[in-house]
Amino acid sequence: MNIFQPKKQDIIDDINGIKVADPYRWLEDSNDSEVKEWINLQNEQTDKILKKDSFESFSKELTNNFKVVNFSNPIPVKGRYFFTERQPDEDQSVLYVKNRLDGVPVKLFDPNNKREGNTVSIDFWSPSYSGKYIAYGISEGGDEMATLYIKDIETNEELSERIIHCRHSSVRWLPDDSAFFYTRNPRPGTVPKNEEHLHTKVYLHKLGDNPNNDELIFGADRPKDDMIGIGLSPDGKLLSIEVSQTWAENEVYIYNRETKVTKPLIVGIPSKFSVRFLRDKVLLKTNYKANNYRVLWSTYEDLYKPLDEWEDFISEREYLLESLKVTKSKILVGYLVNVCSEVFVFDYEGIEVGKIPLPKYSSLAGISGRRDEEEFFYGVVSFVFPKITYQYDPSTSSYKEYRKTDNPINPDDYEVKQEWYISNDGTSVPMFIFHKKDLLRDGTNPTILYGYGGFNKTNTPVFMRNWIPWIERGGIFVVANIRGGGEFGDKWHKGGIKENKQNSFDDFISAGEYLISQKYTSKEHLGIVGGSNGGLLVSAVGVQRPDLFNAVCSKVPLTDMARFPKFGIAIRWVHEYGNPDIKEELERILKWSPYHNVKEGERYPDFFFNTAEKDTRVDPLHARKMAAILQGVNKENKVLVFTEIEAGHGPGKPVIKIVENQALTLSFFAMKLALFK
């Protein structure tokens, strides 16, 4: 039985003539003493119920699983190699450089030397053109608002200048190492506090200068919800600026460093565009008139000609063109074929000259290389093995294994299948099913169904170290590639957003029904999990179909969709969900918003909400309000909440917190789905 009967308020908003009740608005203020007390009581109750024998067992196993060396693909720069690496006893990855591939690593920054007790993490890093310098961003407490530091590689000394408020900064060095373009957010106090994570602009920083005097390149008088990425031509004269407010389209501007003039290249076209500069031509990766993307090209001289006069460099294919990486003589093109990676090699004339071999049901885990280097590295990962990094050796024109992560399982003991099911409107949707071999399909297998379905994100095969204890004990883990994601191009994404958002939920519901119909599991043994947009997904589905699922784990979710744009960076998401300030869009949103569809007296599946004190992406108020309303409508509803202290949305989270959170999640599902039957 639920022991909490939270305080209710009689708050009803009138939004463009629509009455919207909000009985738990008091839980929005994280700094309120009553809210803090509520958080502490919920955490205590969660600990009391979940931190039992199974929690200790899962914690121990997860700790062992994470006691591996974790590393990034190295970036080759003029004979040096930059990379991050985390040792088994470390919480955070450390930034290193080696002066040759088999050389001794030199530590550049170690976030494990904590500052004033805070959790410190490396958010981004970018070596200069010659490899003499490196710029890197450090954030604390999981807030993702990094301070940018610059280090001289030869002396291993930090330069004096530090640039604050560089959230997910994009950095591009000039060829002579004298300066770099970068993106940052406004200084504290120059905009309202709840907008400090917005208003992204492009600046030029010259080494040795005071960052307060950095030249503003782009962003004046622009929408506050701009998301910006930048790229630089080989000679450093042209800066591409890709600007969007949505995940479905963007504009492109070109800044000329010599004339200091910015001109629009692509504006007013509802498609996605990404620029790549070659020596003698400019490439555009785009889904303009190509659902699965293609690559167009132009000379520098004709750069501003009409888009329809650009020529095909790589034509659209049957499958999704997902990534494009340029090296000194090759263009590496990653395709997604039925949600699995394939990589083809093209020359600078757009002719296919080879293919990189990848195993079945695997994903490309990044390609690291540079436009001025022949050598490159790429990672491969799957459900049954963690990342393996391969090196392309230009001296032999061969691919060879460079490094791999220890695997805690024997791949031969497991089975991965891709099956397709029919959603309620007839759409065919794929899912990956992962379990131990010799599974008995008798409808009693404890099964966890995962989904995301938003922001054009693709859910490809990945090694799920944190779910191995579940699989080892006979559970099933399923990934449904529902609409709203980007697995099958622009139409798949748009088929699950705004007025089509219910399609995401219907696809996920149909996945659950399919698993039951195929005797993988039953309602009593079926749980669902998702995070962020996936937390919204499972919260909505758990409310819409309480008869179908027995347990719901909603991590860092959105739930109050009538007020979501008012908090943090969420104004950027109105193009994904709809704008609740517009009457017609609010009417649609209220049909599926989890918080607004909880019914008085209804018995819902057991819910477990995970959120974080310093989440600056999805405000933890969403988890609090959703938990409270579920607790309030029926005393029989079993609802747990765990709020992580000194943690954010996820990036930079230390291993110790990852283990605790996941052990709680596994304990919840094990208890609810009868894993230890």
Look-up: residue for tokens 């391969």? 390
CATH topology of domain 70-232: Methylamine Dehydrogenase; Chain H (2.130.10)
What the block records as the tokens of 627 is 């938990």
> What are the residues whose beta carbons fall under 8 Å from the beta carbon of 7, sequence distance 6 or more?
26
Please state the CATH superfamily assignment of the domain spanning residues 12-64+434-672 in this structure.
Answer: Alpha/Beta hydrolase fold, catalytic domain (3.40.50.1820)
Domain spans of the chain? 12-64+434-672, 70-232
Confidence of residue 647 (pLDDT cuts 50, 70, 90): low
SS3 assignment for 396-456: CCEEEEEEECCCCCCHHHEEEEEEEEECCCCCEEEEEEEEECCCCCCCCCCEEEECCCCCC
622 annotated active-site: no
Average pLDDT of the chain, as a whole number? 96
pLDDT tens digits, residue range 564-601?
999 989 999 999 999 999 999 999 999 999 999 999 99
Confidence of residue 2 (pLDDT cuts 50, 70, 90): low
Confidence of residue 649 (pLDDT cuts 50, 70, 90): low
Look-up: residue for tokens 């079926």? 526
pLDDT tens digits, residue range 514-549?
999 999 999 999 999 999 999 999 999 999 999 999
In this predicted structure, the answer to whether residue 475 has a pLDDT above a threshold of 60 is yes
- Distance (Å, rounded) from C-alpha 539 to C-alpha 505? 10
pLDDT given for residue 420 in this prediction = 99
pLDDT tens digits, residue range 349-370?
999 999 999 999 999 999 999 9
> Which residue among 121, 169, 323, 532 is the active-site one?
532
- Distance (Å, rounded) from C-alpha 143 to C-alpha 661? 18
DSSP states along 432-447: EEEEESS---SS---E
pLDDT tens digits, residue range 164-193?
999 999 999 999 999 999 999 999 999 998
In this predicted structure, the answer to whether residue 91 has a pLDDT above a threshold of 60 is yes
Helix axes 621-633, 33-50, angle to 10 degrees: 70
Which of 85-94, 135-144, 284-293: highest mean pLDDT?
284-293
pLDDT given for residue 450 in this prediction = 99
pLDDT given for residue 116 in this prediction = 54
532 annotated active-site: yes
Within this chain, domains 12-64+434-672 and 70-232 share the same CATH topology? no
Mean pLDDT of 47-53: 94
Q: CA angle at residue 45 from 476 to 568, to 5 degrees?
A: 80
> Which residue among 504, 622, 649, 667 is the active-site one?
649
